[in-house]
Structure 1
Amino acid sequence: MKSCLPPDANPIKPINKLPPGACDAHCHVFGPASKFPYAADRSYTPPDAGFEELVRLHDFLGLSRGVIVQASCHGTDNTAMVDALQRGNGRYRGVAIVDGAVTDEQLADMNQQGVRGVRFNFVAHLGGAPDLDVFDRVLGRIHELGWHVVLHLDAQDILAYSDRINRIQVPFVIDHMGRVRAEGGLEQKPFQELLELMHNPLAWVKVCGSERVSVGRRPFDDAIPFAQALIEAAPDRVLWGTDWPHPNISKDMPNDGELVDLMFRFCKDPEHRRLLVDNPARLYGFP
């Protein structure tokens, strides 16, 4: 079982000041394991990175809001994520991981706590594709709640599951720019398929995870053309987040202040900065 590196404990102060209401639309809370144990069948073990640390980071960077995404190391036990939503007093929304055993009562309770979507991992090193019958049933059930689904895919999965993705009837969000690889260039088939997918009015994408798209060395500038192309393709349906505390990074650990400044370099047109406030407010129901 892989152990993850801790996040950079010394983020820089971003050069660019974030606007009021700016949202980190992709971050996690891990543990603390003494209170919120990790799943026995997890593929990695992260260092504890709890709610207090997340709030300190967001306050330092100037982020008013956040979306806490359940990570696979906690499995379908969403307790740590929901606890953070409760303690955030409306500052945070959540995305859960569920299986086919989840009850209507559990979904309703999570909705009340601020959960607004479910996440499915297709990524090979996290266990590969989910049970697709469960996937379809869960998506049918979240439709009535007005939730969306987050798809964590490897780049080749965009091609392999394109027909199924196009059949989705709820808003869906592609994580981390589809985890395309910068060295493959803008013309690589998975990225072109992702750009084509953005014509679907239900499709959203997160221009985060630059360290995963990049060849892996800060400041990850080779991810910029991919983010810019996605932003230009669907400026009203693009989100940004830090991905703190950056699980499974084996090359160059990001500095979260630098990631804020990198995001500003994504936005050639100031209008594109709607990905910070307007877009997440619309998808997640922030006031």
Structure 2
Amino acid sequence: MTHTSMAPACDCHIHVFDRDREYIETTYQPPRKGIGHFMEETAVSDIRRAVLIQASIDGTDNHYLLETLRQAQTLNPPLELRGVVMIDEHTSGLEAMREAGVRGIRVQDRTRLGQHDLARLPELAARAAALDWHVELNTEPERYDILAALLPTLPEGQTIVLDHFGHVTPGHPDELTRLCRLLDTGRVWIKLAPTRVSQHPRRYDDLIELTRHLVERYRECCLWGSDWPHVMTPSPIPSSLDMIRFLERTLSISQRQACLRDNPERLYRF
């Protein structure tokens, strides 16, 4: 099969943990992996861009994320990097964060993690809208009705990006129907990050039908993310190449170009 380059492809969901420090939350103990490790592991791919997502265990302390954004500018070969932060009412300096490459605010709303921040969405969306940022929401199908009720209250044009396929369960049509209702509003995007929802590690065959359905209906608002370095992911640990191969088996060339290159370029303003 002839390879069709997707460069500069973007991995829209990575974390870095390359330092000695106490974490604000201790839900898990991450591996020590920095941005250099990410580049080494993706060197043979078409990935030239990435989005660094504030990890839940760092809370609203975004200093290391901002430091990594600065570090990426000095790498050889260069990596175009953007960031998504977590904030609270005391967080200041958002304009400087935007200049550094931040493009969004993350909201954690996962029952399993004991996080219920969906009620803060209007407040955080207002702060995001003032900077032309999106809001990245880590939530689950049981909370979709609440999100649907909140959408009309958000600033006009505010984009919401759902993490990890929206945590829908493959083969559960009721969850997919509710997800599609959100996507039909035109205000919600979806991140095709498979590791938290697939029961078929490294091949993701149980996500083929779901992925095709979403990209065929909502091509302009689909992104891809690896969730590197795959914390809390059972063995075998996946690789970005596993996921790229999955997309090659599942989507057309033009669909992959949208998810890997064109849509990230618009949302994150590379």
Amino acid of the structure 1 residue aligned with 2:142: Q
Counterpart residue number, 2:140: 154
Aligned counterpart, 2:254 = 271
Residue of structure 2 equivalent to 1:195: 180
Aligned to 1:38: 23
1:25-72: CA deviations, max 9, x gaps? 11111232x1x5421x33222111112111222323231101111110
Q: Could you say which residue in structure 2 is the equivalent of 1:173? A: 161
- Shift of the 16–100 alpha-carbon distance from structure 1 to 2, 3 Å rule, reads farther
Scaled by the length of structure 2, what TM-score is found? 0.89
- 1:263/1:145 CA distance change after superposition, 3 Å: same
1:21 aligns with 2:8: yes
How do 1:229-248 and structure 2 match up within 5 A?
A: 229-248=213-232
Measured after TM superposition, the shift of residue 226 of structure 1 is: 1.1
Query: 2:56: which partner in 1?
Result: 72
Report what 1:124 is aligned to.
111
- Residue 164 of structure 1 is aligned with which of 150, 170, 173? 150
Residue of structure 1 in register with 2:70 after alignment: 86
For residue 240 of structure 1, report the CA deviation from its aligned partner: 0.5
SS at match of 2:51: strand
Q: Cα deviation per residue 1:77-100 (whole Å; 9 max; x = unaligned)? A: 112211111111271000001112
1:50 aligned to 2:38? Answer: no
* Aligned CA distance change for structure 1 residues 190 and 159 (closer, same or farther; 3 Å): farther
Distance in 2 between the 1:49 and 1:243 partners?
Answer: 13
The answer for the alignment partner of 2:245 in structure 1 is 261
CA RMSD of aligned residues (A): 1.9
Gaps of 5+ in 2: 74-78
Q: Distance in 2 between matches of 1:155 and 1:30?
A: 29
Which amino acid in structure 2 is aligned with residue 207 of structure 1?
Answer: L
Note the C-alpha offset of 1:271. Answer: 1.7
User: CA shift at 1:145, angstroms?
Assistant: 0.6
- Percent identical among aligned pairs is 30
Contact 2:15 2:229 in 1 (8 A): yes
Unaligned runs of 5+ in 1: 1-14
TM-score (norm 1): 0.84
Instruction: Give the 3 Å change call, closer, same or farther, for CA 279–244 of structure 1 in structure 2.
Output: same
Change over 3 Å in CA distance of 1:23–1:218 after alignment to 2: closer
Counterparts of 1:29 and 1:160 in 2: how far apart (Å)? 31
Task: Tell me the SS of whatever aligns to 1:102.
Answer: coil
- Offset from partner CA, 1:151-208 (integer Å, 9 cap, x none): 10123222443312454331110111111122xx151x22111112111222111111
Which SS does the other structure have where 1:125 is aligned? helix
Is this contact kept in 2: 1:31–1:80, CA < 8 A? Answer: no
> SS of the residue aligned with 2:136?
strand
1:138-149 correspondence runs (5 A): 138-149=124-135
Length, aligned pairs only: 261
